[in-house]
């Protein structure tokens, strides 16, 4: 009974030891290579529980299969039209072929060193084949930054997979800038553009204001002249009506009208500033000098004359 217990305990311990020595797990986040005295014998790319011979007969090498970001220092590149650009790129990559990676690269730092050279050269080749307007432009059909970066990614991917066992997932540009020494001239150009724009806006304002003022004057004249026209028509109408009324009345006895109207006119014309030279021969004064009751018949004698004095 006692012995059985001891044996059971021993067996359990032995089993645990065997587990420890013979079993190992591969995580979701890694690939593994089982090596025998340095020589790879088995590659494991699926996570799970696996067995091996105890060390030193077999050892397990693990490789992180997660997505890595490689963010090198910005590099200066020339475009086809000899413009200098400071390009800050990044590369997303992961280990895809652990055997090749083990063979060629071994470490993550080694992989980054290889990528740095590869990406920089592909980037400079591809940017050097395009003009600046392919990177930076307001013309939608000129900008090819995305296709340029697809090409760079594609080329890096081919090389890296064969050479380093790395999958380049994406190479892209984080930031494009101009070299410090070029910025002053850019600022000057920006300032000139802004000044021109400000002038343009103000001139536009003046232009519209002038148009509005001219339009105002035009409308003003239209309104006033239309009113004048209407007024003249109305006045003419009034005058015509008056003439009609007058002539209708006066036609009944024109001679009498002329007589009456002349008398009225005299009253207005002959004022205190008038000097009147009257002949005693006139009908009106005849009586004054030579009264004859028979001759006093027509007071409207033609001898009476008037003249204006100063």
Q: Considering only residues 219 through 248, tell me which ones interact with other proteins, judged by CB under 8 A.
A: 219-220, 223-224, 226-228, 230-235, 237-239, 241-246, 248
Residue 103 or 279 with smaller CB distance to other proteins: 279
By rule CB under 8 A, what count of residues binds other proteins? 114
The span from the CA of 174 to the CA of 28, in Å, is 30
* Distance in angstroms (rounded) separating the CA atoms of residues 65 and 263: 130
β-strands 75-78, 166-177: how paired? unpaired
Residue 67 in the binding site for other proteins (CB under 8 A):
yes
Q: 153, 173, 156: which is closest to 115 by C-alpha?
A: 156
* Binding to other proteins in span 165-204, by CB under 8 A: 169-170, 172-178, 183, 186-187, 189-191, 193-195, 197-202, 204
Q: Which is nearer to other proteins, 104 or 284 (CB)?
A: 284
**Residue selected from 76, 213, 258, 295 as contacting other proteins according to rule CB under 8 A:** 213
Read off φ and ψ for residue 239, nearest 5 degrees: -65, -40
Q: Which is nearer to other proteins, 104 or 167 (CB)?
A: 167
Site for other proteins in 11-50 (CB under 8 A): 25-29, 47-49
β strands within 96-165, DSSP E: none
Enter the tokens of residue 8.
């059971």
Nearer to other proteins, 36 or 90 (CB): 90
- In the complex, minimum distance from the CB of residue 218 to other proteins, in angstroms, rounded to a whole number: 11
Considering beta carbons, is residue 161 or 176 the nearer one to other proteins? 176
Using alpha carbons, list the distances in angstroms from residue 244 to 56, 207, 248, 298: 140, 55, 6, 31
In whole angstroms, the minimum distance from the beta carbon of 140 to other proteins comes to 7
Among 162, 179, 208, 258, which residue interacts with other proteins (rule: CB under 8 A)?
208
Question: Which uninterrupted H or E stretch holds 175?
Answer: strand 166-177
Query: Binding to other proteins by residue 278, rule CB under 8 A?
Result: yes
Position among 272, 292, 302, 310 found at the interface with other proteins (CB under 8 A):
272
Number of Cβ within 10 Å of residue 45's Cβ equals 14
Residue from 11, 14, 129, 249 that binds other proteins (CB under 8 A)? 249
Radius of gyration of the chain (CA): 59
Q: Kindly tell me which residue out of 71, 76, 103, 154 binds other proteins, with binding defined by CB under 8 A.
A: 71
| CB contact at 8 A, 124 and 89 | no
Among 106, 125, 147, 275, binds other proteins (CB under 8 A): 275
Nearer to other proteins, 103 or 227 (CB): 227
CA dihedral 123, 129, 132, 138 (to 10 degrees): -100
What six digits make up the tokens of 59?
């050892």
Give min distance, CB of 124 to other proteins, in A. 18
Q: Residue with structure tokens 């994406």?
A: 170
163 or 193: CB nearest other proteins: 193
- For residue 203, the tally of other CB atoms under 10 A from its CB is 10
Residues 136-165 interacting with other proteins (rule: CB under 8 A): 136-140, 143, 145-146
Q: How many CB atoms lie within 10 A of CB 109?
A: 9
Q: For other proteins, which is the closer residue by CB, 39 or 46?
A: 46
């Amino acid at each position: 009974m006692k012995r059985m217990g001891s044996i059971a305990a021993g067996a359990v311990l032995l089993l645990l030891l065997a587990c420890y020595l013979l079993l190992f797990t591969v995580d979701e986040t890694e690939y593994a290579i089982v090596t025998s005295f340095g020589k790879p014998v088995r590659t494991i790319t699926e996570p799970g529980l696996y067995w091996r011979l105890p060390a030193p007969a077999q050892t397990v090498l693990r490789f992180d299969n997660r997505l890595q970001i490689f963010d090198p220092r910005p590099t200066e590149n020339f475009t086809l039209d000899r413009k200098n650009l400071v390009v800050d790129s990044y590369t997303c990559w992961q280990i895809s072929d652990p055997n090749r990676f083990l063979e060629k690269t071994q470490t993550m730092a080694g992989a980054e060193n290889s990528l740095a050279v590869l990406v920089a050269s592909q980037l400079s080749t591809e940017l050097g084949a395009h003009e600046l307007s392919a990177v930076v432009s307001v013309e939608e059909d000129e900008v090819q930054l995305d296709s340029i970066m697809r090409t760079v990614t594609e080329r890096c991917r081919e090389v890296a997979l064969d050479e380093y066992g790395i999958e380049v997932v994406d190479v892209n540009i984080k930031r494009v800038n101009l070299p410090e020494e070029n910025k002053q001239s850019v600022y000057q150009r920006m300032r000139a553009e802004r000044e021109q724009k400000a002038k343009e806006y103000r001139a536009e304002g003046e232009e519209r204001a002038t148009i509005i003022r001219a339009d105002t004057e035009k409308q003003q004249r239209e309104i006033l002249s239309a009113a004048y026209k209407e007024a003249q028509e109305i006045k003419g109408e009034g005058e015509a009506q008056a003439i009609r009324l007058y002539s209708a009345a006066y036609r009944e006895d024109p001679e009498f009208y002329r007589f009456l109207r002349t008398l009225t006119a005299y009253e207005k014309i002959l004022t205190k500033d008038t000097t009147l030279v009257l002949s005693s021969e006139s009908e009106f004064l005849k009586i004054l000098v030579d009264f004859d009751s028979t001759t006093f018949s027509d007071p409207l004698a033609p001898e009476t004359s008037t003249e204006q004095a100063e």
